[in-house]
Amino acid sequence: MQRSEQERLRIESLAQMRELGIDPYPAAEFKATYKAADLTEGFEEGLQVVLAGRLMTRRIMGKASFASLQDSTGTFQLYINRDEICESEDKVLYNTVFKKLLDRGDFIGVEGETFLTKTGEPSLRVRKLTVLSKAIRPLPSPKTDDDGVVHDAFTDPELRYRMRYVDLVVNPEVRKTFEARSRVIQAMRDTFSEKGWLEVDTPVLQAIPGGAAARPFITHHNALDSQLYLRIANELYLKRLIVGGFEGVYEFSRNFRNEGMDRTHNPEFTIMELYVAYKDYRWMMTEMEQLLANVCQAVHGETRAELAGTTINFAPPYARVTMRDAILEYAKVDIDGLDEDGLRAACKNLGMEIDDSMGKGKLIDELFGEHCERHYVQPTFITDYPIEMSPLCKAHRDNPRYTERFELFIAGTEVANAYSELNDPIDQRERFEAQVALMERGDDEAMFVDQDFLRALEYGMPPTSGVGIGVDRLVMMLTGQTSIQEVLLFPQMRPEIFES
């Protein structure tokens, strides 16, 4: 393996440490008494503290040095004086270990007391220094000048995504994004658990990939000698649990779809699905408004978030627009009363690319996607989807051509999808049969029939409303990111080839 000059020197330092009787990778627990942020907030002088973290910058001035120590909460300045850490005549710890053998990126533990430097910087006067772990590779070294401008930042997306561990160490805003992601998920979980709903786990390996229309990843179980799929959705399993008598169930579901990748699609992604018995989609809209306001509050301390130069306002209520009105407004087409041929003519009229495999539902969806979607920047519920495009959703109580469905759009992107769930087993069977017809017509995304799910519905499912929230996309909206890769710790990449 080819090593750079810097790596070779660090490996040499490692050996020298061992010769001095210092274990560069000690096994013992190291008990830090504070975190960097604890010391910075409400700074107190003369406090005895023990800190642990990575040595990040060093400014050596002969017999005294300044350094910064970075832990999970931030950085804190260290002041290291030769004669204070080496009280006897033996100055090896300072002159050799600290100045020569330690490098940027090494983990150390320090003990001492807090004080203010003459320039007023909160600092730790180090009395004792312990090597906790030696780093062999040099970290990138971004620097921030007086004007807050970052120089030499570690920015190459390929390197950042492949080596997220390095990205997280040197780019503090990256760590903040993932802390925000965790708060989003925690806020949802807290809200649901307070309402008494049950968090459940349902199969990732499924014999029939149901609940959505997408190409699945296929795998094989040896002992059963059967083909299995990684789930594209968990919807049908959560509904089975509602049949079983749970009245509120939810799951943060990692789904897998064997489709293209772009800035809003990764082959594996997370959808939070929630089903609540005796509710309808109107109730769910109100519930979602409150949930997202809470989540935004948890992340930002207010119900607004900045995204690509616009302020997104998450405070309820959100606009509610029917799909018919949306298409009427932006495409000037009234889908009400148009049959498939009429729709096809209208699409052609607008210069859209369409083909014969597209049914009525798909044509309407194209109209909406092409002309309307991008206009909904502030959170907006698009409601009452045509029945042809929603095979798991109950027909609208006032008009059977539509369904009791909404999608929530933010910044022109679909963030949530909800129904008054179809619980009529006869109707559901017919809808599945219509999907089979679409599949035979050439639609390779039509849904599979799940006989066991139909059997479950035949045992009776209470009226239920369900929702799926695209967690990754919601995190994007809340953290101002425009690429899904920035909200996934390890986005999908082509496998890296290593020389052995």
DSSP annotation string for 357-404: T--HHHHHHHHHHHHTGGG--S-EEEE--BGGG-TTBPBPSS-TTBBS
Q: State how beta strands 380-383 and 150-151 pair.
A: unpaired
Binding test (CB under 7 A) with RNA, winner from 66, 217, 252, 330 = 66
CB of 252 to RNA, least distance (A): 19
405-428: buried (b, 16+ CB within 10 Å) or exposed (e) per residue? bbbbbbbebbbbbbbbbbbebeeb
Residues 273-292 binding RNA (CB under 7 A) are none
Binding mask 350-389 for RNA (x = CB under 7 A): ---x-------xx--xx--x-------------------x
Query: Which of 154/402 has CB closer to RNA?
Result: 154
Q: Check binding of 225 to RNA (CB under 7 A).
A: no
Instruction: Tell me the Cα Rg of the chain.
Output: 29
**Rounded to an integer, what distance in angstroms lies between the CA atom of residue 358 and that of residue 376?**
25
Are the C-beta atoms of residues 311 and 304 closer than 8 Å to each other? yes
From the list 32, 50, 91, 100, which residue makes contact with RNA (rule: CB under 7 A)? Answer: 100
Whether the link from the prior residue into 317 is cis, omega within 30° of 0, is: yes
Tell which positions 404-443 bind RNA, by CB under 7 A: 417
The residue within the footprint of RNA, chosen from 118, 165, 196, 309 (CB under 7 A), is 118
DSSP state letter for 137:
S
Q: Give min distance, CB of 18 to RNA, in A.
A: 17
Q: Cβ of residue 291: shortest distance to RNA, in angstroms?
A: 21
| Dist CA 481 CA 350 (whole Å) | 33
Which amino acid type is present at position 484? I
CA 471 to chain centre: 6
Question: Which residue, 191 or 359, is less far from RNA as judged by CB?
Answer: 359
Q: Does residue number 143 form part of the binding site for RNA (CB under 7 A)? A: yes
Q: According to CB under 7 A, which residues from 464 to 493 bind RNA?
A: 483, 485, 491, 493
Gap between the Cα atoms of 479 and 173, Å rounded: 10
User: Which residue among 34, 69, 77, 97 contacts RNA (CB under 7 A)?
Assistant: 77
Q: Choose which of 64, 315, 449, 454 interacts with RNA (CB under 7 A).
A: 64
Q: How many CB atoms lie within 10 A of CB 339?
A: 9
Helices assigned H by DSSP within 20-134: 36-40, 82-85, 92
* The pair of three-digit structure tokens given for residue 214, joined into one six-digit string: 């997408």
Q: Counting contacts by CB under 7 A, is residue 61 touching RNA?
A: yes
How far lies 52's CA from each of 29, 103, 202, in Å?
Answer: 11, 15, 40
Q: Which of 1, 28, 151, 245 binds RNA (CB under 7 A)?
A: 151
C-beta of 102: minimal distance to RNA in Å? 9
Which residue, 63 or 332, is less far from RNA as judged by CB?
A: 63
CA 40 to each of CA 37, 44, 123: distance values in angstroms, whole numbers, following the listed order: 5, 9, 9
> By CB under 7 A, is residue 391 in contact with RNA?
yes
Among 109, 140, 209, 248, binds RNA (CB under 7 A): 140
Instruction: Work out whether 400 is an interface residue with RNA (CB under 7 A).
Output: no
Nearer to RNA, 261 or 345 (CB): 261
Q: How many CB atoms lie within 10 A of CB 46?
A: 8
Q: Which of residues 152-171 bind RNA (CB under 7 A)?
A: 152-159, 161
Stretch that binds RNA, among 257-265, 277-285, 425-433, 448-456 (CB under 7 A): 257-265
Q: Rule CB under 7 A: is residue 348 a binding residue for RNA?
A: no
For the bound state, the minimum distance from the C-beta of residue 12 to RNA, rounded and expressed in Å, comes to: 9
Task: Measure the CA–CA gap between 36 and 66, rounded to whole angstroms.
Answer: 16
**Residue 77 or 191 with smaller CB distance to RNA:** 77
DSSP 402-452: BBSEEEEEETTEEEEEEEEB---HHHHHHHHHHHHHHHHHT-TTSPPP-HH
Could you give the string, one character per residue 169-208, with x where binding to RNA holds by CB under 7 A and - elsewhere? Answer: ----------------------------------------
Query: CB of residue 167 vs RNA: minimum separation in angstroms?
Result: 10
Q: Which of 14, 86, 104, 325 binds RNA (CB under 7 A)?
A: 104
Nearer of residues 315 and 354 to RNA, judged by Cβ: 354
442, 357 contact by CB (below 8 A): yes
Residue 315 CB, shortest distance to RNA, in Å, is 28
